[in-house]
Amino acid sequence: MNPQQLLFYCRAGFESDLAAEIATKAAALGWQGYPVAQPQSGHVSFVLTDERPANALHRDLPLASLVFARQSLVALEPLTGLSREDRLSPIIEQVVASGWNFESLWQETPDTNDAKALAGLIKALQRPLESILKKRGALRRKAGGRRLHLLWTEGDRVQLGMSFPGNRSEQPGGIRRLRFPHDAPSRSTLKLEEAWHEFVPRDQWETRLAEGMQAADLGAAPGGWTWQLVQRGMQVYAIDNGPMDRGLMATGLVEHLREDGFVWAPPMRLDWLVCDIVDKPARVIDMVERWLVKRWCREAVFNLKLPMKRRWEAVSEGLARLDRSLAEAGVRAEIGCRHLYHDREEVTVHVRLLN
C-alpha cells in the first residue's frame, strides 16, 4: 500500500492559504496533485496524481520550509463510517496493510472547538490500540523513529498518517504551548519566545541569545518583546512613542526612545532586531530590508500582518522581494517564515545574516 496523500495541520481559517502554498510548491518541484481543504477544518490534504510515492514529496517539502503548516504527515485514505461497536478493527487492518511499523502512537484532533469534544474517545482508545498494534507487530521499540498519527475529525472518521524524525513537529498537534509569564507586560511576549524555539536551535541559545548582547525592539510598547530580550540579559533600545512597562525600565537594561521605529537608526551594529509593528507588510519589509542591507543587526525577528484574502500570495511575494533585495546587495542570509501558534492574522519572519 503506497501512500498517495500528504496531510497537514494548520490554524482553522487558514486552510485555503495552506492549500495554495502546498499546490504552488509541489508544482514548482515537478509534482502533480491537488489540495483538499474544507474551511475551518484545521487541516489540509494534498492528493497525488503522480505515480511516485508520497514519501518522496514529503522529503522534498520539509516542514520547516512551509509557512502555514503546523504538522506534515504522509497519509493513508481516511476511514469513514466507523462503527461505535468496533472502531479499532478498521484502524488496525489499515495499519497492518500499510506494511509500516512505528515506535509510538499519537491520537490528535484539529485545533477546533468541535474536534476537541473527541478527547474522551481518544483517551479511551489509546491503550487498546497500543496493545493490539504491539501484538500485530506494527508498534515496536525500534522502528526508525517513525510515529503513527491518528487524526480524528468525527467520532466515525479518522485519517492515519506517519511522521519521520527531522521532518515533523515534535509537539502534539504541531502546537507549541507556552506558559504566559505573569510579570510580562503583554501576551505578545509569547510570539517572540515561540519564534526563538522555532528558528534558533536550543543548543545555540547560549551563543545566539547571550547575556550582554544588544538589541532593538521597534514598536516596543508596552514591552512584551522587550521583556524576552531582557530575560536573556540583553541591553535593549525600545523604540516607541507609547509608554513602556515600569518594571522593565527598572531593570536598567532598557533605553526607551520616543521615536518612529520606521526611521530610527541604531548608533552601532546590534545583535538583534525585533519588530511587531502593526502596519502594511510591504512597509515593514522596506524597513527591515534597510537594516539588513546596511548590516545594522546580525539577526532579526519580525511579524507581517496579513490581509484578509490571498494571504499566501502576500507572504510569498514579500519574502521573494526581501530575498531578491538582499541578493542584489550581496548580503547572504537565511530566511525563515512560519505561522506560529501564538500568531493570529500574521506570520513571523526570521533572518540571520551569514556574511
Q: How do strand 270-275 and strand 297-305 relate by DSSP bridges?
A: parallel
Peptide bond into 90 cis (omega under 30): no
Among 349, 76, 5, smallest CA distance to 195 is for 349
Catalytic pick from 191, 280, 305, 309? 305
Collapsed DSSP state (helix, strand, coil) of residue 68: coil
C-alpha cell belonging to residue 181:
509569564
DSSP for 136-201, please give it.
TTSB-S-STT-EEEEEEEETTEEEEEEE-TTSS-SSGGG----PPPTTSS-TTHHHHHHHHHHHS-
DSSP state of 30: T
Query: How far does Cα 266 stand from its chain's mean position?
Result: 30
Indicate if 142 belongs to the active site.
Answer: no
Spell out the residues 6+ positions from residue 129 whose beta carbon is closer than 8 angstroms to its own: 88, 91, 92, 105, 107, 150
User: Side-chain half-sphere of 178: how many Cα atoms within 13 Å?
Assistant: 20
With CA atoms as reference, report the closest residue to 217 among 180, 178, 256. 256
**Residues annotated as catalytic (active site), given as ranges:** 305
